[in-house]
Structure 1
Amino acid sequence: MFKKHARMYKKVFHTILSLFILASSAVGQTVKKTNTGLMGHRYLTFNTVIRVNQIEVSRTRNVGEDERALHTPAKVEAFRRAVAEGFPGGKMTWAFSWLALNDTTANYREIRKLVVSYLKKYGDEITFIPGAYFANAYNTTEQVNKDIHNALNLITKMVGNGYRPKSIVAGFLSSENQQYLAEKEHIHVCQGNIWSQFSIDNQDGDGSVSYPFYPSKEHFCKPAQNSADFIDCVNLDGWSVDFLAARRAGFADGFNSRLSVGPIETIGKYGPEIGLKQMMHATAIHFDQGFELNKFAWVTNCWELSLPYDAEYLRMWLSQIKKRWPDTKMITQGEFGLIWRKHYKNNHFNYVFIENGSGIGGSDADKEIRWFMNKDFRLALLRTVGDPESEKVIDFTNYTLPAKEPAEMTRKWSLLGEINQKQTRAQDKPIPLDSLSKDARALIFHHYPNLDNK
């Protein structure tokens, strides 16, 4: 009897021991599992736009040039190959215009098949761009909603298996349309603003935060202030720009205010050597000091397929990023937005950016700019390098004040605050921080007490 019980106890002991080892192993696996949260990571999102006309302002009306000849299967293949070689394992987002989704010519049929194959091979995202960037400048909000709904259905049919993108690309998109996207289409990420754009291209939209935020029901550039004002759609910038260049309006002072990680204002203007140097400078703003300040970093780029630049330059930029910041995660726009949404349930963010100019174009080598962005306001301080006393406010936009989007179709969708960085109004003349109103300074010092008396 004793031996029988001993064997039984021994069997139970070994069973418990095995369960303990298994549990310990599981715990070990959890510890070793890659952290997929927002903080502690550098993120890169890369989008491209496939269209038929340069600006498809509606389903039946175009502004600009016909781009059919610029969109070929061979160009799509070279483009995706450059991404795969420059950043192995990286994912990207493909945004089709209305006409590109519906064009029946052989090239566009083959392009759509290729992109679907990339979704399956690489995990890319396929989505829609309404109006080719400027939907609200040419269409009613009701029509934009219809375009989004119908296009998403076309994409589901094109990809199959009930596929739905996690985001859309829009350039600019009104708060009402972003609310529709979240509540009716159940898509919670939208590239819905182009940070600092003013007096360039076909629509203005200065006044927003440059990193992700939940938009207000009052204006897509304004962060939601409370639950009643909240739209559950992560509003993303279109491409990361040089903050010093972006403080200008359009082409003021002979510079392009959109100097950025994109190829038009860099490679197209200065050639590949200097152009890529500037692209890396704009990237480093976020991946170096920006990462230290904000505990995560994000760079985004939109390189339209129709642009006349060799895909080799894209490969070079991506490979330089991979080499310099090997921990960078290149994921789809929708994936990044949902990671941010999981971390931030509301607009309790506090972004800080500091840039010293590169000396290329409007990125003044002798200037330092500091940006502070939160739910309540955005603030920009500009100084001459090495001269703290020269620092002045060039932008203060108070988000606690009421805002309103245009009721009509227009290019003017900016949210201009007490002082705006573009200096297009008499009131926009830079002033010392202590010259702001008492209420403005109280709001600023509540968030950043160290700025008091500086």
Structure 2
Amino acid sequence: MIKKNLLILLTFTFVWCGSLSSLKGQGRGEPAPAGLMGNRFLTLNTIIRVNQIEVSRDRNEGMDERSEHTPERVIAFREAVSSEFPGARITWAFSWLALHDQTENYKKIRELVVGYHHKYGDDITFIPGAYFANAYNTREQVNKDLHDGLAKVSEIVGNGFRPKSVVAGFLAAENQQYLAEKEGIHVCQGNIWSQFSIDNQDGDGAVSYPFYPSKEHFCKPAQGKDDFIDCVNLDGWTMDFLSARRDGFADGFNSRMGVGPIETLMAYGKLTGLTQMLYTTAMHYDRGFELNGFAWVTNCWELSLPIDISGLKDWLNEIKRNWPDVKFITQGEFGLLWRDHYKDNSFNYRFELKGSGIGGSDSNLKIRWFMNKDFRLALIKDWQKNRRENVIDFTNYNLKAEEPKDMTRKWSLMGEINQKQSRSQDKPKVINKISPDGLALIKKYYPYLLTDK
């Protein structure tokens, strides 16, 4: 009945949604796609830790999660993926304590995941600081943690194994540069697109699809050779663009709602939650694929979440049924495919979405995003009343940027106008009210936006 109802709902909602490294030791699974363009991609990460927010090697900001991390849950999670999507490869990220804990449960978990690497081709990696490493540690300490954590992963897997990527939540530019130049890792889940006033760190201001970060700021695309970091910076999980424009929990809605299970299944129940997850997915696999020539959806499903894994199975089942060509690979493989195609930040991403009517995804609104090396631009309008389109975000990446020097939660790159509307200057405005320099940049890429009535 759930799948039947989903099909009915999605029939209406989808209308408006608008050089690869060696695979030696990769294990079984579907062959890696030949290239980036012309493909739809899905990546899925899961986090295994001991404490909820392990902000450093010996400091914890959350609750003990030992009881939630069991071999039985690991087995059930992996079987849920392979049962609905044979050949899929996922990414497992271990916290510092999860890599070193000597209790029988964690020994068995590590043994199981190494087995999945050999059986399915899953990637195994390290997560420093449990998403918020730079909010609690110096850059020097984060580099030490990355070095030692990655070395421990290599030791556990054996045979000279090295992860293809790192999961980090947020990661400062200097640390991503270290990954590329010292550790030889060129893919990092290093930003959580649009996160602001939620959890322990802010990081709004980036591009939502892959990019090479600038040495100035991890949210800023590199502008040229002098500030280029050869580390593909990936988003943490795909969000609904209308929900994501909100400041934290403004108006009682969760701004991170999209494909994540916390903001969908846990918040709204299975039917409505899955509908929103698939609505967000369709935005990329349908209209997004048309606009960009490839599409990418990513999700992080923490192993400790108190959510029925059948929700994960249903989401994957619907993806497989609606888009049977989707390539379900590790985030490292996807990032390296992008790196093989784009040698610099010559991307030009566009996205369109009409709201789902669920949570903060207002059904009367339509949003358009434009993202390139020089700027990001968001336009929004009430399409039901045919109101004029207004700018809610313009971030000029040509301008000098600077990350915080000290440990803090405030790592956002705020432009001329920011979607969160947390400052007095962020009130929506018509496009011709943007600064002259901004208008010149917009005209260079999208001249039709300045002639639209």
Q: TM-score range by the shorter chain?
A: over 0.9
C-alpha distance in 2, partners of 1:450/1:277?
A: 34
Q: Residue in 2 aligned with 1:138?
A: 136
Q: Residue in 1 aligned with 2:209?
A: 211
In the alignment, structure 1 residue 64 sits paired with structure 2 residue 59: no
C-alpha distance in 2, partners of 1:35/1:358?
A: 32
Q: Secondary structure at the match of 2:398?
A: coil
Give the alignment partner of residue 279 of structure 1, picking from 277, 280, 291.
Answer: 277
Greater RCO (Cα-Cα under 8 Å, separation 6 or more): 2
8 Å contact from structure 2 (residues 33, 327) kept in 1: no
Q: Residue in 2 aligned with 1:351?
A: 349
Give 1:35 deviation, angstroms: 5.5
Give 1:88 deviation, angstroms: 1.0
Equivalent residue runs for 1:160-239 within 5 Å: 160-239=158-237
More off after superposition, 235-244 vs 383-392: 383-392
Equivalent residue runs for 1:49-448 within 5 Å: 49-386=47-384, 389-448=387-446
Q: Residue in 2 aligned with 1:37?
A: 35
C-alpha distance in 2, partners of 1:314/1:36?
A: 28
8 Å contact from structure 2 (residues 242, 355) kept in 1: yes
Matched residue type, 1:349: F
Matched residue type, 2:64: D
Matched residue type, 2:174: E
Matched residues, number: 422
Query: Deviation string for 1:71-110 (max 9, x for gaps)?
Result: 0000000000000012111110000000000000000000
Q: Which runs of 4+ in 1 moved over 3 A?
A: 386-389
Q: Residue in 2 aligned with 1:452?
A: 450
Give 1:453 deviation, angstroms: 2.3
Computing the radius of gyration over CA atoms, which structure comes out larger, 1 or 2? 1
8 Å contact from structure 1 (residues 86, 317) kept in 2: no
C-alpha distance in 1, partners of 2:246/2:173?
A: 26
TM-score of the superposed pair, with normalisation by structure 2: 0.92
Question: Structure 1 pair 223/388, CA: closer, same or farther in 2 (3 Å)?
Answer: farther
C-alpha distance in 2, partners of 1:352/1:344?
A: 17
More off after superposition, 380-389 vs 288-297: 380-389
Q: Residue in 2 aligned with 1:26?
A: none
Matched residue type, 1:369: I
Q: Secondary structure at the match of 2:205?
A: coil
In the alignment, structure 1 residue 46 sits paired with structure 2 residue 48: no
Question: Structure 1 pair 134/35, CA: closer, same or farther in 2 (3 Å)?
Answer: closer
C-alpha distance in 1, partners of 2:33/2:238?
A: 25
C-alpha distance in 2, partners of 1:436/1:229?
A: 27
Q: Secondary structure at the match of 1:143?
A: helix
After superposition, the CA RMSD in angstroms is 1.0
C-alpha distance in 2, partners of 1:389/1:365?
A: 14
C-alpha distance in 2, partners of 1:434/1:142?
A: 44
8 Å contact from structure 1 (residues 86, 314) kept in 2: no
8 Å contact from structure 1 (residues 213, 347) kept in 2: yes
Query: Deviation string for 1:149-191 (max 9, x for gaps)?
Result: 0011111110010000010000000000000000000000000
C-alpha distance in 2, partners of 1:313/1:254?
A: 24
Matched residue type, 1:336: F
Give 1:34 deviation, angstroms: 8.6
Query: Deviation string for 1:218-264 (max 9, x for gaps)?
Result: 00000000001100000000000000000001000110001010110
Q: Which runs of 5+ in 1 are unaligned?
A: 1-32
C-alpha distance in 1, partners of 2:33/2:338?
A: 14
Matched residue type, 1:306: S
Q: Secondary structure at the match of 1:149?
A: helix
Q: Secondary structure at the match of 1:313?
A: helix
C-alpha distance in 1, partners of 2:397/2:334?
A: 25
Query: Deviation string for 1:281-305 (max 9, x for gaps)?
Result: 0101100000000000000000000
8 Å contact from structure 2 (residues 96, 127) kept in 1: yes
C-alpha distance in 2, partners of 1:209/1:64?
A: 30
Work out the percentage of aligned pairs sharing the same amino acid.
69
Question: Structure 1 pair 109/294, CA: closer, same or farther in 2 (3 Å)?
Answer: same
Give 1:386 deviation, angstroms: 4.4
